[in-house]
């Protein structure tokens, strides 16, 4: 049996499991039985930190705007009577104004280019309505961590922050965080919180793995060197890493992963050296490369990283969670850090 260690969420004093479980596919792509088995197993392993969002997952359930994942978590927590044993994170701002426009018919693929133009955003009334709906689906009176899911540059930050401060004041959320956001916006968020006495964010949820984005990748979602420096200067902000195993890229043969859409921001630079370093360590330890990546993320101290597992399969979950017991030697860490 695995025992997942804990980490402090920012400087809140709240401990969360050092690995979070992502509920994105639960209730849409992943059926109830498998989702419940994953959740039960995670909790049995010492997991407490659960990650969902109100929009999960419209792109796997035609004719909806998401909500299935929160509903499933709500049913599971009610059944297990464990709401107070978990640290529940959800997100708002990324449901769509009109999902049928981005996915008109089940026999075509959802159009993500269109979807990205019609997020509901983070205005005060939208966030309030979204949070109330999330609480209803989750069957709880508060969430522990509420993220602005996609940064909304069309709404004044002051409006969003004042709304979040009000949710904290009302006890509907305990803390908040931001996701898919550029460092300069985070800097501004901190300035505004300091100036107005608003509570500051405690978590930053970004795409973050072992590969590094190439110079000029300019992604709002991927942690780059500047964002790492920001995090080092702000221990009150925990880095919560989504897509930590980059959808299994590390376990794929080079021919299979080449041209993968997720690889584009990393291609060039030192990506090939990094793949080679992970593969060398994995070979030496006799474990899958993905497990090495997760162990490496867990070994990071500055900033500390809480990866969110995203698999929908129990066997893969077991394979990945075993990273908590994988000790990387100083030589392995050195090889991985400077491949």
Residue 50 CB partners (closer than 8 Å, separation 6+): 20, 21, 23, 39, 73, 86, 87, 88, 89
* Assigned token pair, 159: 């409006």
The secondary structure element, H or E, covering residue 308 is strand 305-309
Based on the shown chain and the rule CB under 6 A, indicate whether residue 55 belongs to the binding site for ligand NAP: no
Shortest Å distance, C-beta 5 to ligand NAP: 19
Of residues 123 and 312, the one with the C-beta less far from ligand NAP: 312
* Assigned token pair, 117: 């133009």
Q: Is 279 left (phi over 0), alpha (psi -120 to 50) or beta?
A: alpha
Of residues 88 and 126, the one with the C-beta less far from ligand NAP: 88
Region near ligand NAP per CB under 6 A, out of 20-28, 96-104, 107-115, 322-330: 20-28
Q: Using alpha carbons only, what angle is made at residue 82 by residues 76 and 86, rounded to the nearest 5 degrees?
A: 100
How many residues touch ligand NAP under the rule CB under 6 A: the total is: 24
Q: What is the DSSP letter of 223?
A: -
Q: How many helices (H) and strands (E) does the chain have?
A: 13, 10
Q: What is the pattern of x (binds ligand NAP, CB under 6 A) and - over residues 159-198?
A: --------------------xx------------------
Contact between 299 and 333 (Cβ < 8 Å): yes
32 vs 126: CA distance, rounded Å = 29
In the list 10, 22, 121, 303, the residue contacting ligand NAP (rule: CB under 6 A) is 22
Which of 200, 199, 201, 219 is CA-nearest to residue 209?
Answer: 219
Q: What is the pattern of x (binds ligand NAP, CB under 6 A) and - over residues 133-162?
A: ----------------x-------------
Of residues 81 and 143, the one with the C-beta less far from ligand NAP: 143
In the list 4, 163, 246, 278, the residue contacting ligand NAP (rule: CB under 6 A) is 246
Based on the shown chain and the rule CB under 6 A, indicate whether residue 308 belongs to the binding site for ligand NAP: yes
- Which residues of this chain interact with ligand NAP, rule CB under 6 A? 22-24, 51, 149, 179-180, 205, 242-248, 251, 290, 308-313, 316
């Amino acid at each position: 049996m695995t025992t997942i260690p804990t980490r402090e969420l920012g400087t809140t004093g709240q401990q969360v499991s050092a690995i979070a479980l992502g509920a994105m596919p639960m209730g849409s792509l992943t059926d109830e039985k498998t989702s419940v088995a994953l959740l039960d197993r995670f909790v049995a392993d010492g997991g407490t930190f659960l990650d969902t969002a109100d929009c999960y997952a419209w792109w796997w359930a035609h004719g909806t705007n998401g909500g299935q994942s929160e509903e499933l978590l709500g049913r599971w927590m009610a059944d297990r009577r464990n709401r107070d044993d978990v640290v529940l994170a959800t997100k708002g701002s990324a449901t769509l104004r009109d999902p049928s426009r981005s996915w008109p018919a089940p026999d075509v693929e959802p159009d993500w280019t269109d979807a990205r133009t019609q997020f509901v955003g983070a205005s005060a009334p939208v966030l309030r309505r979204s949070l109330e709906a999330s609480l209803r689906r989750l069957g709880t009176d508060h969430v522990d961590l509420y993220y602005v899911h996609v940064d909304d540059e069309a709404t004044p930050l002051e409006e969003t922050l004042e709304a979040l401060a009000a949710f904290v004041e009302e006890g509907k959320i305990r803390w908040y965080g931001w996701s898919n956001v550029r460092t300069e916006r985070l800097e501004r968020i901190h300035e505004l919180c300091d100036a107005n006495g608003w509570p500051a964010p405690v978590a930053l949820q970004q795409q973050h793995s072992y590969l590094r984005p190439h110079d000029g990748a300019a992604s709002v979602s991927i942690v780059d060197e500047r964002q790492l420096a920001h995090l080092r200067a702000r221990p009150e902000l925990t880095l919560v890493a989504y897509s930590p195993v980059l959808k299994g890229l590390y376990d794929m043969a080079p021919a299979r992963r080449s041209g993968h859409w997720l690889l584009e921001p990393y291609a060039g630079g030192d990506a090939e050296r990094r793949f080679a370093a992970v593969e060398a360590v994995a070979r030496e330890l006799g474990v899958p490369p993905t497990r090495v990546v997760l162990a490496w993320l867990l070994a990071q101290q500055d900033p500390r990283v809480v990866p969110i597992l995203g698999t929908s399969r129990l066997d893969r979950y077991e394979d990945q969670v075993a990273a908590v017991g994988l000790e990387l030697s100083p030589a392995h860490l050195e090889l991985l850090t400077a491949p």
